[in-house]
């Protein structure tokens, strides 16, 4: 009998076909995430789970899932999973690093440029008739933005995505500085970037782009106190996780004009309430968590989920295992 696998959203048919050679696969085919009660019920029935960042995989669920051996996450971030608890229980957790770096870095750059050159505002200006009403096709002061060349880009979290964003910054002729939990001297030399402590990065950056995971340490890393230290007129871009920024503090800094503009792909509550105060700012560009949303990347992510599940099935270490310590608790496989 094949082990049972529950996948919490539709992936790609070719990937499901491949997985079906190893697993008895059930796919949740609705657009909305399965409610927690459904997830809990399924987790108790299966040997493996394929999850998304919208699925809460907490210790309550994991400890009741007696046959569950692996949680294969369809994302690089895994802040929705209690990894520590999974490890204690001998449950493998995998993610999809690397394959989404390019797409997320490109989206970061699209947002950064949209904020710098007021693209969304310009679209509204044309579409909703303001340009037409002004009865002038061109004016020296119309829709002025800021240039990138010669400006300072501050990267918080020089990992895979942060490094790629840094490369784009260099290509635009920017000075790139970074802050990370651990200084990365080799990478610094390779990318031509400078390490700064967080306060200095805040003070010197014209643009700040955030690329840390969401952890206890990075929760509200950008808070009211830190937003008081930014260079006046800074533009902030966040494609990491919404909770890395205290949104209330950001709203205040935008209102006071200390932050010139922001571009946010991720939000403290997703989906974002359209009545949230942040939506009132025309100088804030908003996206619905689409960092990895390209056809190419989403397929590669699904393939990596499958590779992890198949490796585990075959008794091999999954290629992108998050909790390596689990290897000491239980060997991979269903035996």
Neighbours of 223 (CB within 10 A): 15
Minimal CB distance residue for ligand NAP: 159
Segment 267-296, which members bind ligand NAP (CB under 6 A)?
A: 289, 291-292
Instruction: Name which of 56, 34, 49, 63 is nearest 4 in CA terms.
Output: 49
Residues 321, 330: Cα–Cα separation, whole Å: 13
Q: Residue 222 corresponds to which tokens in the numbers above?
A: 């950008």
Q: Verify whether residue 276 is a known catalytic residue.
A: no
The two three-digit tokens of residue 113, written as one number: 């440029």
Residue 289 a catalytic site member: yes
Pick 121 or 265: Cβ nearer ligand NAP: 265
114 binds ligand NAP (CB under 6 A): no
Binds ligand NAP by CB under 6 A, chosen from 54, 88, 170, 213 = 213
Identify whether 241 is a catalytic site residue. yes
Can you tell me which of 42, 69, 151, 160 binds ligand NAP, judged by CB under 6 A?
Answer: 160
DSSP alpha helix (H) spans, the chain:
13-20, 36-45, 59-64, 83-88, 101-116, 119-127, 130-134, 160-171, 185-191, 198-204, 224-227, 247-255, 295-313, 326-329
Q: Is 154 in the site for ligand NAP (CB under 6 A)?
A: no
Interacting span for ligand NAP (CB under 6 A) from 6-14, 61-69, 100-108, 322-330? 100-108
Question: Out of 164, 211, 267, 289, which one is annotated catalytic?
Answer: 289
As a whole number of angstroms, the distance between CA 212 and CA 271 comes to 21
- Give the residue numbers annotated as catalytic, written as ranges: 241, 270, 289
Contact residues toward ligand NAP (CB under 6 A) are 76-77, 97, 100-101, 104, 157-162, 180-182, 211-215, 217-218, 239-241, 265-266, 289, 291-292
């Amino acid at each position: 009998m094949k082990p049972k696998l529950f996948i919490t959203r539709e992936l790609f048919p070719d990937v499901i076909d491949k997985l079906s050679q190893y697993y008895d696969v059930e796919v949740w085919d609705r657009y909305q995430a399965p409610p927690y009660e459904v997830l809990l019920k399924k987790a108790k029935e299966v040997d493996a789970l394929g999850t998304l960042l919208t699925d809460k995989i907490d210790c309550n669920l994991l400890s009741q899932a007696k046959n569950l051996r692996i949680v294969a996450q369809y994302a690089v971030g895994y802040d929705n999973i209690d990894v520590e608890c999974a490890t204690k229980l001998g449950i493998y957790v995998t993610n999809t690093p690397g394959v989404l770096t390019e797409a997320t870095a490109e989206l970061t750059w699209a947002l950064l440029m949209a904020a710098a050159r007021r693209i969304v505002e310009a679209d509204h200006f044309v579409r909703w008739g303001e340009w037409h009403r002004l009865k002038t096709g061109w004016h020296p002061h119309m829709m002025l933005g800021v240039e990138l060349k010669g400006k300072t880009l501050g990267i918080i979290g020089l990992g895979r995505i942060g490094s790629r964003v840094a490369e784009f910054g260099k290509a635009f002729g920017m000075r790139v500085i970074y802050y990370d939990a651990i200084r990365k001297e080799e990478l610094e030399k390779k990318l031509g970037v400078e390490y700064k402590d967080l306060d200095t990065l805040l003070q010197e950056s014209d643009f700040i782009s955030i690329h840390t995971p969401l952890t206890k340490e990075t929760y509200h890393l950008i808070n009211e106190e830190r937003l008081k230290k930014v260079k006046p007129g800074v533009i902030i871009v966040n494609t990491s996780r919404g909770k890395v920024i205290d949104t209330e503090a950001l709203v205040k800094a935008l209102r006071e004009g200390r932050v010139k503009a922001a571009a946010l792909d991720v939000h403290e509550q997703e989906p974002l309430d359209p009545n949230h105060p942040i939506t009132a700012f025309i100088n804030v560009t908003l996206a619905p968590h689409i960092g990895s949303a390209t056809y190419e990347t989403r397929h590669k992510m699904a393939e990596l989920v499958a590779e992890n599940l198949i490796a585990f099935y075959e008794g091999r270490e999954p290629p992108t295992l998050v909790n390596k310590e689990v290897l000491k608790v239980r060997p991979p496989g269903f035996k």
